[in-house]
Chain A
């Protein structure tokens, strides 16, 4: 399996933010997207995950191959950790949640109500969801926000396990993820040119 993205242009609110993004991730590889705030990392990831159509260009894999994790973890605070994770396991029709709980050291918290977790614990629960999706391509947006160094190591371990199983990972971050083997792609080189001010439509963007 291989995720090849060719000449992709993405827009946010109708304004092109990135142009000509081209990369290729093979099975077992991770790619880290880097760039300043507002460059369009999140927009690119949402486009790759299939949440919005690209302006131009081609994404090599179907959206069914992608598992997406956004800034928000989608955790229901009145459900327990087990219920939260079990729900996603049912939605993605994968069975057991125990390995995912184990991978992010959540087993002891499994029956705790998710609303009572700390920010880092919630993030770990959000990342454990990626394990239960059973999908080959992980699309992660700032995955290590609010994680301590120990949890970052757990995360790196989970990503390595995923890659070892033939998976792929595409991540946007500006913090060190502890994944020294991952390739890094600078987003700054793909920044879209500002629209022509004489363009009638452009004047309203």
Chain B
């Protein structure tokens, strides 16, 4: 299992691996927002948590179809399915690798990007915390979507349509947590909900992902 994780990370950072794709997209969204809403610091700092969350979510979405598609195309998914690695572990490792190559860089870069949107100083810690709690859920749900659409040519559109509704709760509570934090309000409820969603999907969805992957490999 560790071998699988190191292989996926190694593939991600090698040429054409797609590492940094989400990060670059995130940067583009965040730098373009001030141009589109106008140079008003007050307005920008008000919408900053929501924009940052939306940017992170879309950046995450961008790399989802790569989770299984590449392994499917070169046949290694079939070979992995016949290997001693249980399917549930396989999808969990895939989700973890996706989070490490997409979610984690976004979290690390967010404080810098938040500066571009003049997020109030009090908002930095809650924003990073909310992303830290929320992005694992995005990766796990996305892995489920990728498992559903594996083997479909140009399945990216279908994948987005399937996954976006499932992302809504995470977005709502994540952005709410970051917004309340920025305003200095109590954010405990949103934080608990966010953590609950993340832990829930991490515990349950790998079984669903493994089941649909088995069906799709037939």
Interface of chain B, helix or strand or loop or mixed? helix
The one of B15, B16, B74, B84 that contacts A64, using a Cβ cutoff of 8 Å: B84
- Give the residues from 64 to 101 in chain B that come closer than 8 angstroms, CB to CB, to chain A: 71, 73-85
A63 contacts across to B, CB distance below 8 A: 82
A77 contacts across to B, CB distance below 8 A: 74
Q: How far does the alpha carbon of A118 sit from the alpha carbon of B71 in the complex, in Å?
A: 20
Say yes or no: is A189 at the interface (Cβ < 8 Å to chain B). no
Q: How far does the alpha carbon of A133 sit from the alpha carbon of B80 in the complex, in Å?
A: 11
Decide: B82 and A92 in contact? CB cutoff 8 A: no
- Give the residues from 1 to 23 in chain B that come closer than 8 angstroms, CB to CB, to chain A: 2-4, 7, 10-11, 14-17
Say yes or no: is B115 at the interface (Cβ < 8 Å to chain A). no
The one of A51, A64, A72, A133 that contacts B81, using a Cβ cutoff of 8 Å: A51
B78 contacts across to A, CB distance below 8 A: 46, 51, 68, 70, 72, 74
A46 contacts across to B, CB distance below 8 A: 78
Decide: B82 and A68 in contact? CB cutoff 8 A: yes
Say yes or no: is B24 at the interface (Cβ < 8 Å to chain A). no
Decide: A66 and B82 in contact? CB cutoff 8 A: yes
Decide: A91 and B16 in contact? CB cutoff 8 A: no
Task: Return the chain B residue nearest A78 by Cβ.
Answer: B14
Decide: B75 and A74 in contact? CB cutoff 8 A: yes
Task: Return the chain B residue nearest A77 by Cβ.
Answer: B74
Looking at the assembled complex, report how far the CB atom of B138 sits from the nearest CB atom of chain A, in whole angstroms.
25
Say yes or no: is A149 at the interface (Cβ < 8 Å to chain B). no
Interface positions of A (Cβ within 8 A of B): 46, 49-53, 63-64, 66-79, 83, 87-88, 90-93, 129, 133
